[in-house]
Amino acid sequence: MSEVGPKGGLRSRVRSAAYSAFGYLPPRVRRGIVGVVAPSFTVGALGVIHDGDLVLFVRQQHRPGLALPGGLLKKGEPARRALVRELAEELGADASGFAAAPDTAHVDPGKTRVDLIFFCAADRATMALTPAAEVLSFEWRRIDDVELTPQTREILASVGDRIPR
């Protein structure tokens, strides 16, 4: 009769042998296996641009409601560079007021998405914004606005305490 207990049992020996064999596989094959077995996350960079208790949101063609400006990182692209690119593409905005690294992150395991969040205080009266083709409009609203997308609402629920009210 074979052992099935946690220490030294059959299951433990099989797992150990599998890990050892895995280590001998070529790196490309190992990455392929990990890509199938482990969840793959998309990563975005979002800007929370606020003027007092008002936050800048965009209304985009591809989704109903108001969302934070930003977008997905390209492969190998640093988060801040992605934010600079997305703000320029969406709003013609300068991202010089943002920190070099994200202030926080929001992880949504159900949607396998990670959003890196950058905060920046701004003076909306002096910001020159020009919506791009994908952006229908931009609007300054409070973080409890009813038109926010569910994803935006969830993100702001976790970081909203950083915005003055």
Where along the chain do its domains lie?
1-38, 42-162
Structurally, at CATH architecture level, domain 42-162 sits in Alpha-Beta Complex (3.90)
* Model pLDDT, residue 65: 94
* Model pLDDT, residue 156: 93
pTM for the whole structure: 0.77
- Sign of torsion over alpha carbons 100, 104, 106, 112: positive
* Model pLDDT, residue 31: 74
Bridge partners, residue 59, by sequence = 66, 137
* Model pLDDT, residue 6: 53
Amino acid at 27: P
Q: Which helix (H) or strand (E) holds 32?
A: helix 27-37
Query: Span 110-127, mean pLDDT?
Result: 91
Asked if the model's pLDDT at residue 22 lies above 70, the reply is yes
* Model pLDDT, residue 102: 92
Band (pLDDT 50/70/90 cuts) for residue 149 is very high
Contact 107, 42 (CB under 8 A): no
